[in-house]
């Protein structure tokens, strides 16, 4: 009888803990509202309304904004297996702190393996093009600190990317 009561007590504690537990979806929604507000304020404060566009994915607004600095040329087809060679800088949007750049090294990435902000925005330009991407944290590094590069969790990121080469 004691075992049954102990098991019932254990179940009650587990179920009670579930109701008060970590709600990842709610936290993601809260962070999305914060990120979107930061980006909108930046766009307004810097008079970018006329030149900035939002990336749509399957006709759904993503919250990723971009400015085509130079369109590039060609009739490139982008897929998840497309290999892109880039020159880039990455800054925290709110502080302007540079946390990553390619310098003289021009890395190549498979488009399907890069962060969603890059995967969704890079196809807006062609080879030789340059793009600036304003990315909410959910499409960049997310809710994770990146101490190796000095990037706090939930950072809204400003990327400037030059598309040097495309290989399919």
Q: Are 163 and 87 in contact (CB under 8 A)?
A: no
CATH architecture of 26-167: Roll (3.10)
Could you tell me the two tokens for 10?
A: 């254990």
Q: What is the pLDDT of residues 74-95, one digit of tens each?
A: 888 899 999 999 999 999 999 9
Contacts of 97 (CB under 8 A, 6+ apart): 91, 150
Check pLDDT > 90 for residue 14. no
Contacts of 75 (CB under 8 A, 6+ apart): 126
Q: What is the pLDDT of residues 20-65, one digit of tens each?
A: 556 888 999 999 999 999 999 999 999 999 899 999 888 788 999 9
Question: Beta strand pairing status for 60-70 and 83-92?
Answer: unpaired
Q: How many C-beta atoms surround the C-beta of residue 91 within 10 A?
A: 17
DSSP states of 12-65 as a string?
A: HHHHHHHHHS--HHHHHHHHHHHHHHHHHHHHHHTT-TTT-EEEEETTEEEEEE
Total-model pTM: 0.84
> DSSP secondary-structure letter at 3?
H
**pLDDT in the model for residue 164:** 96
Could you tell me the two tokens for 13?
A: 């504690």
Q: Show me where the domains of the chain are located.
A: 26-167
Question: Beta strand pairing status for 60-70 and 53-57?
Answer: antiparallel
């Amino acid at each position: 009888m004691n075992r049954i009561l102990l098991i019932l007590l254990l179940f009650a504690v587990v179920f009670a803990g579930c109701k008060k537990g970590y709600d990842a979806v709610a936290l993601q929604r809260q962070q999305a509202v914060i990120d979107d507000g930061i980006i909108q304020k930046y766009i307004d404060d810097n008079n970018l309304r006329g030149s900035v566009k939002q990336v749509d994915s399957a006709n759904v607004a993503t919250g990723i904004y971009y400015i085509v600095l130079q369109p590039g040329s060609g009739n490139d087809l982008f897929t998840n297996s497309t290999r892109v060679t880039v020159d880039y800088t990455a800054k925290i949007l709110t502080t302007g702190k540079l946390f990553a750049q390619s310098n003289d090294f021009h890395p190549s990435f498979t488009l399907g393996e890069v962060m969603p902000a890059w995967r969704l925005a890079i196809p807006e330009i062609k080879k030789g093009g340059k793009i600036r991407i304003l990315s909410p944290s959910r499409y960049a590094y997310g809710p994770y600190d990146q101490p190796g590069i000095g990037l706090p969790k939930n950072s809204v990121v400003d990327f400037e990317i030059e598309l040097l080469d495309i290989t399919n």
